[in-house]
Amino acid sequence: MSRISKDQVMHVANLARLAVTEEEAELFQKQLDAIITFAEQLNELNTDDVAPTSHVLEMKNVLREDKPGKGLPVEEVMKNAPDHKDGQVRVPAILE
């Protein structure tokens, strides 16, 4: 007996906005059943001594240390602003 019905395949296809023919639904039903059967084999594994992980490889932060530095002069930055006043960049109002 299949673990997934053709109606379920058609329902998922509809949710994904996929046009699936009856023949394709039968094929997908067989393929999805095989995938589910394979995935169920994982339930047979003993994972009692396996520590939970977020990644299979040991990861470390490879970014540089965040250090404050001197920024650009205001005059230099304002050269790129299309509209500015008193050292502030002016933008169109979005609220009334």
pLDDT at 21 > cutoff 90: yes
- The pLDDT tens digits of the residues spanning 31-40 come to 999 999 999 9
Whole-angstrom Cα distance, residue 61 to residue 49?
27
Beta strands in the chain (DSSP E): 84-85, 88-89
CB atoms < 10 A from the CB of 28, how many? 19
Domains of the chain: 6-44 (1.10.20.60)
pLDDT tens for each residue of 53-91: 888 788 777 788 889 999 999 889 898 899 999 889 999
Residue 9: Cβ within 10 Å count = 22
pTM score, whole prediction: 0.49
Q: What is the pLDDT of residue 12?
A: 95
pLDDT at 24: 96
